[in-house]
Structures are given as C-alpha cells and as structure tokens.
C-alpha cells in the first residue's frame, strides 16, 4: 500500500492557504477548513478525522506559544494526486522546532500515529509539516 | 457564539459523573480542566466521565484527563471513562492512556 | 439599528485569510470557513447563512471568470467589533468590477439584500467587498 | 468525495417530480441543469421540484430554475416548487422569483 509514496512527490497540483491569528478560538476554523479540503480529495471520514486531529495539535502548539513578532501563522494545504501535505509557516523563527519530545510526547505520538509523514523541524518560515497519503481508489475524486 | 463544550455533573453516593458534550481543544480546555478539578475537589467518590457525546479531544485534553487521574489517585479514587466514540478511543490506544484509565 | 455603522470603521482588530484556486469545488470550502468565522463573531444561524450565500456569489463569479495571470484569489475576513467585512483580492486586474448589472442581476440583488454594504468595484488587487453588521448584544461573544 | 447534490426523478401521468437533495452551487449547477432540462425534454407534463432537502442554492441555480420554467412554458406546462426551506424561500422573495413559480 505504500509503494506509491515516492511517486507522490511529483504531480503537485494545488494549494490552499489559510492565515489565522494566534488565537485559540480559530483552531476550530482550521479544523473545519482542513476537513473540507481533505474530504474533497477523497479521504474517508476516519482519515479526515485523523487529519483534523493532527493539524489541531500543531495549531494548538503554535497558538499556545504565540509570537511577539507577527500576528498570524499560515497553514498551506498542498494537494498532491494521492497525498495531502499540510505545511505550517510563520515569519517568526522562534517557532521553529516548536514541539519538544518531553512535554509534547502525547501530541507527537498522536501526530506520528495518524499521519504518514511528520517533519517537526523544517526550514525557517516553513516551520513544520505533516502529510497523509490517500490510499485506495479514491484519488480520482477531485 | 455557540458554546463548543458543555459540561454537566451529577453526584450520587457512589460516584460523581461528569458528562462531556462537544469539543475539548485549546479553546475549551481551561473550562474542562477547571470543571474536572473542582469536581474532584468537592467530591470524595470515584469519578465517571461520560464521553458518549464528546466529539473531539486533543493532547491538551488528554493531558488534563491524566492530571485528573493523578489527583483522584492521591485521594484513593478511580476515574472511569465511558462511552468513548471510536475516533477518540483510537487516541487513547495511540497514547497508551487506555492502560491508565478504567475504560467502559 | 444602523447608528453604529460609522463607528464600526474603527476598532478593526482581526484578520483571517483564505487563498483558493479558481476552481468550483473549493467554493464550498469558502462557505465553510466563512460560516466558522461568522458564527464565532456571534452572528446567528440566519445571518451566517446570509453571509455564506453572499460570499458564494462572489466566489462563483470569480471562479467562472477565472484568471490567465494567477492561479488563486484571496478572501480576507476582516473582523471588526460589530461588523464582518469580506474583501476579495486578486493580482489580476481584469477581475475588477467583475459583476455586471445586466447578466448578474440575480446575484447582485441577493448580495444587496443579504449584506449591509456591498462595494462591487474597489481598488485594484482589492476587487470588491461585502460587509454585514452584527446587530443585538452578541458582539461580546468573541 | 461525497457528492453534494443528489437528484432523483419520479414520473406519473399528471406530473414529473424531481427531488433535489443537497447543494446547488457553481460546482453542481451543471448536473442540476442537465437533469432538469433532460426531464423537460422527455416528459410532457407539469414539473414538480421537491426542494424539501435542498440546503443551498445560488443565483446560478436560480437562473437554471428560470430557464427551466421558460422551457416548460413553451411546452404549455407549469413548474411547481415544493417544500422550500425558509433560507431558500428568502432568496425567491429577494429576487422576485416567487412571483414566477407556483410555490407550494
Ligand atoms: N501534553 C502532555 N503530554 C504528556 N503528559 C501531559 C501532557 N499534558 C499534561 N500531561 C500530564 O498531565 C499532568 C497534568 O498536567 P496539568 O494539566 O498541567 O495539571 P497540573 O496543573 O495539575 O500540573 C501532568 O503531570 C503531566 O505529566
Ligand atoms: N444570473 C442570472 N440572472 C438573471 N437571469 C438569469 C441568470 N441566469 C440565468 N438567467 C435567466 O435564465 C434563463 C436560462 O439561462 P441558462 O441557464 O443560461 O439557460 P439556456 O442555456 O437555456 O439559455 C435565461 O433566459 C436568463 O435570462
């Protein structure tokens, strides 16, 4: 089932972005937007739920840390043919590598279990990313 | 704004039950923590948390459940979690919390 | 009920942005995001519905016209204390004044009836905007 | 992706009924138009459009209803719209379309 993982790096074809203030009340807005995007791609209800939970872990962490430099962070949904990658961006470099293995063990365990790829430290501005692969024959849905 | 989390409590001689309706996330977690901790404070019984209408919980919420369990144990009481939906039971399994709580 | 309309121009305090491809399937994503934002502000169910319908008219128009220059358009939700203004932006100036009174009479009538302010032609990049005032005592909800 | 619009038709001697379930927007309007026009094409009766489970319609969808009405009139038939929810009836009132259709 995972043999397509390498192929998914090509065929990158669509981007949706959501820019949110560092406020707890908008984390549910992110979940709702994610669920719309993911279900349109053809993820089933359980997979959509997984994506919402993982995304929410990141948003909560960013919001609880906040930023002294900027007001908002950016969630970029990258829709590949058979993979959804969600990249979290912010011009505040202090939010790089925001998860720590000790205090965030629950959140990290959850993200790793629910997503196919979790990169907790990426380039500056692009803080971190999580990906989920579209299994089965649903990738024609879009 | 429609409240995303409604918590109701029900005390009997044997246990105190807290029913959780809605979503526990970073926005509602403070309310969740205060409710559970204040119930523990005022009751000397086991705690049942009815999650049959809990739609969503994140790691902060799970951490609060762990904290609640620790506080309860200190008083010699147990925490029972009932009615977990499949998507949330999954999070208990992933994090190993299913082994800490009595899940019914 | 309208005496606060002028005051609403100050107290501007929060911005949420959604960037979408010119594709029909994402208009419902815009509706979902709008409904999350509007209900958080304290708009009631009927008002949220009004906002979704009006926003959708704009998105549909932009998507049906499309752009040869850029891939996506930007929806900016400006949350004032007692007003939500939704600004539609795009770097493609050919999308300025995109509604025309003759062919879009239904859509224009709907937006004017459902929103408190509709500006169909604004500055370049900022294509057009629609606003709805928060009536009643709900403005403390956020 | 779960389909956002489901259209079913039901023919009798007196009229043809089309039931509209879901949302009519720019994404589903083509499907909506094709269904209504093909039903008109093949039937010689009045048309009933059951909107009791229509959750959302935009101006494109309303325009298609107007086009359907025009085509029906040319054949000497009427179009009845039934079960409109309040939020959608509101759009008929705003646009004056309530005066064109038989709304039940
Ligand atoms: N994200 C988390 N990951 C792992 N354990 C956590 C997490 N959050 C809380 N905990 C655990 O739950 C317990 C309660 O934490 P907390 O809610 O801060 O309560 P308190 O204020 O009583 O310390 C802590 O002992 C901590 O070990
Ligand atoms: N947005 C609109 N505003 C006003 N009238 C409309 C709108 N869209 C369609 N109509 C009317 O509905 C009728 C049908 O339009 P259309 O769906 O393009 O059907 P057709 O392909 O048969 O012309 C047209 O005669 C037009 O006047």
- Rounded Cα distance between C97 and D22, Å, is 31
pLDDT tens-digit profile of B6-51?
A: 999 998 888 999 999 999 999 999 999 999 999 998 888 999 999 9
- Note whether D1 contacts A: Cβ–Cβ < 8 A: yes
- Rounded Cα distance between D28 and D21, Å, is 11
pTM: 0.84
- Contact at CB, A53 and B56, closer than 8 angstroms: yes
Mean pLDDT of chain C: 87
Residue nearest to atom 23 of ligand 1 (CA): B67
For helices D29-42 and D59-74, give the axis angle rounded to 10 degrees. 10
Strands of the sheet with A83-89, listed across from one edge: A117-119, A126-133, A83-89, A72-80, A12-21, C14-21, C72-79, C83-89, C126-133, C117-119
pLDDT at position B43: 85
Strands of the sheet with B79-82, listed across from one edge: B5-11, B15-24, B46-57, B79-82, B102-103
pLDDT at position B3: 53
Confidence of residue A12 (pLDDT cuts 50, 70, 90): low
Q: How many CA atoms lie within 13 A of A73 on its CB side?
A: 33
Strand partners, D60: none
Relative to beta strand B102-103, strand C14-21 is unpaired
Share of chain A above pLDDT 90, in %: 73
Which SS3 state, helix, strand or coil, does residue B53 take? strand
Minimum mean pLDDT among A124-128, C13-17, C47-51, C91-95: which range? A124-128
- Give D-chain residues touching C110 at CB under 8 angstroms: 58-59, 91, 94-95
CB A114 within 8 A of CB A54: yes
Confidence of residue A139 (pLDDT cuts 50, 70, 90): very low
pLDDT at position C11: 59
Mean pLDDT of chain D: 92
pLDDT, greater one: A142 or B83? B83
pLDDT tens-digit profile of C33-42?
A: 999 999 999 9
Strands of the sheet with D5-11, listed across from one edge: D5-11, D15-24, D46-57, D79-82, D102-103
pLDDT, greater one: C117 or C9? C117
Which-ligand-closest: CA of B58?
Answer: 1
Q: Is the pLDDT of residue A4 over 50?
A: no
Q: Is C33 exposed, middle or buried (0-12, 13-18, 19+ CB in 10 A)?
A: buried
Over the range D61-95, which residues count as b (16 or more CB within 10 Å of their CB) and which as e? bbbbbbebbebbeeeebebebebbeebbebbbebb
Q: Is the pLDDT of residue C12 over 70?
A: no
- Contact at CB, D87 and C49, closer than 8 angstroms: yes
pLDDT at position A140: 45
Confidence of residue C137 (pLDDT cuts 50, 70, 90): low
Residue nearest to atom 20 of ligand 2 (CA): D67
- Round the CA-based radius of gyration of chain B to a whole number and report it: 13
- Rounded Cα distance between C17 and C37, Å, is 11
Touch criterion met for B and D (3+ Cβ pairs within 8 Å): no
Distance D58 CA to ligand 2 centre (A): 13
Confidence of residue C5 (pLDDT cuts 50, 70, 90): very low
Q: Is the pLDDT of residue C62 over 90?
A: yes
Confidence of residue C127 (pLDDT cuts 50, 70, 90): confident
Please name the residues between 70 and 99 in chain D that touch chain C, using a CB distance below 8 Å: 87, 91, 94-95
Residue C18: closest CA among C98, C93, C82, C78: C78
The token duo for C50 is 């009004």
Measured between CA atoms, the residue of chain D closest to residue C108 is D59
Mean pLDDT of chain A: 88
- Rounded Cα distance between D20 and D6, Å, is 6
Nearest-Cα distance to chain C for A101, in Å, is 31
Residues recorded for chain D: 104
Cα torsion angle, C55, C56, C61, C67, sign: positive
Measured between CA atoms, the residue of chain A closest to residue D27 is A142
Arithmetic mean of pLDDT, C71-94: 94
Q: Is the pLDDT of residue B75 over 60?
A: yes
Residue D73: CB within 6 Å of ligand 2? no
- Rounded Cα distance between C38 and C49, Å, is 9
pLDDT, greater one: A133 or C142? A133
Task: With a cut of 50, list the residues of chain D below it in pLDDT.
Answer: 1-2
Neighbours of C67 (CB within 10 A): 17
Give the ligand 1 atom nearest the CA of A105.
3
Distance D17 CA to ligand 2 centre (A): 22
Share of chain B above pLDDT 70, in %: 97
CB C48 within 8 A of CB C39: yes
- Round the CA-based radius of gyration of chain A to a whole number and report it: 14
- Give C-chain residues touching D60 at CB under 8 angstroms: 60
pLDDT tens-digit profile of A16-70?
A: 999 999 999 999 999 999 999 999 999 999 999 999 999 999 999 999 999 999 9
pLDDT tens-digit profile of A55-111?
A: 999 999 999 999 999 999 999 999 999 999 999 999 998 899 999 988 899 999 999
Neighbour subunits, B (≥3 Cβ pairs < 8 A): A, C
- Rounded Cα distance between C23 and A14, Å, is 10
């Amino acid at each position: 089932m995972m043999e397509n993982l390498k192929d998914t790096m090509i065929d990158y074809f669509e981007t949706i972005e959501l820019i949110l203030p560092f406020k707890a009340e908008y984390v549910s807005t992110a979940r709702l937007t994610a669920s719309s995007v993911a279900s349109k791609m053809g993820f089933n209800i359980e997979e959509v739920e997984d994506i919402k939970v993982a995304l929410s872990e990141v948003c909560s962490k960013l919001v609880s840390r906040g930023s002294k430099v900027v007001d908002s962070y950016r969630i970029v949904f990258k829709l590949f043919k058979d993979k959804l990658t969600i990249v979290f961006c912010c011009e505040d470099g202090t939010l790089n590598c925001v998860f720590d293995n000790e205090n965030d063990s629950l959140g990290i365990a959850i993200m790793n279990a629910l997503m196919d790829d979790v990169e907790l430290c990426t380039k500056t501005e692009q803080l971190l990313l999580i990906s989920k692969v579209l299994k089965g024959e649903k990738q024609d849905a879009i | 704004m429609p409240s995303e989390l409604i918590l109701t409590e029900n005390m009997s001689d044997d246990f105190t039950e807290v029913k959780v309706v809605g979503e526990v996330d970073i926005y509602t977690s403070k309310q969740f923590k205060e409710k559970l901790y204040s119930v523990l404070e005022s009751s000397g019984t086991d705690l049942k948390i009815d999650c049959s209408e809990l739609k969503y919980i994140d790691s902060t919420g799970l951490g609060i459940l762990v904290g609640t369990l620790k506080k309860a144990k200190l008083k010699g009481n147990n925490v029972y979690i009932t009615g977990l939906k499949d998507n949330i039971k999954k999070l208990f399994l992933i994090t190993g919390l299913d082994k800490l709580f009595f899940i019914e």
